[in-house]
Amino acid sequence: MPVDQIQLSKFLSFVLRHKPDEIGLTLSAEGWVNIDELLEKANATGTMFDRADLLGVVASSDKKRFSLSADGLKIRAAQGHSVSVELGLPPQEPPSVLYHGTATRFVEAILAEGLKPQARQQVHLSSDEETARQVGQRHGKPHIFKVDAGGMYARGFKFYRADNGVWLTDTVPPEFLAPATSK
């Protein structure tokens, strides 16, 4: 019976980003887990898939949520962890402008307090407005913030680029936020 790729992607995101212990996994400090161990523990707990299914999800993920180790033996989530991991990404100079999508109901709090990682380890930023809009729509009517990443970088804030292209930073103070142009 073919595996539902969307369901498998959601399962992998859940386990590799938030609850590895749900199936008895322990992530390395960098978020890696051995693929064979992942398969064994997932199948033992009733989520049935094989290496080909997993590699199919990695290859077809539009958001490139997962990274494989160079030797192809390990997998990790590219970003978005609520469990403590150190992805080992080097700080990089970001584009001058990045974007953040959220629901309109959060705008007032964000304008007062800035962007915070909430349940995640870092704030996620997009290099384009459309991706930010898609993220914001997941939570309701979207609002897109333009982030003065160049100004933040000049003031010493660190930025990291995940394997899937998502930009990460620890926080975005309100003075670096402006509404993006709406479509």
Domain assignments of the chain as residue spans, ordered by start: 5-77, 98-179
Q: Tell whether the model's pLDDT for residue 2 goes beyond 80.
A: no
Residue 153 pLDDT grade (very low, low, confident, very high; cuts 50, 70, 90): very high
Instruction: Answer yes or no: are the C-beta atoms of 143 and 104 closer than 8 Å.
Output: yes
Q: Tell whether the model's pLDDT for residue 1 goes beyond 80.
A: no
Q: What mean pLDDT is predicted for residues 167-175? A: 97
Instruction: Return the pLDDT at 83.
Output: 86
The torsion defined by the Cα of 147, 58, 35 and 32, in degrees rounded to 10, comes to -10
Closest C-alpha to 169, from 151, 144, 183: 151
Question: Which CATH fold would you assign to the domain 98-179?
Answer: ADP-ribosylation fold (3.20.170)
Instruction: Return the pLDDT at 181.
Output: 67
Residue 63 pLDDT grade (very low, low, confident, very high; cuts 50, 70, 90): confident
Instruction: Return the pLDDT at 96.
Output: 98
Give domain 5-77's CATH number out of 1.20.120.430, 1.10.10.970, 1.10.3720.10, 2.70.160.11. 1.10.10.970
Q: Tell whether the model's pLDDT for residue 128 goes beyond 70.
A: yes
Residues listed for the chain: 183
For 78, residues 6+ apart whose C-beta sits below 8 A from its C-beta are 64, 65, 66, 67, 162, 163, 164, 166
Q: What mean pLDDT is predicted for residues 116-134? A: 91
Q: What mean pLDDT is predicted for residues 78-104? A: 91
Question: Tens digit of pLDDT for each residue in 99-108?
Answer: 999 999 999 9
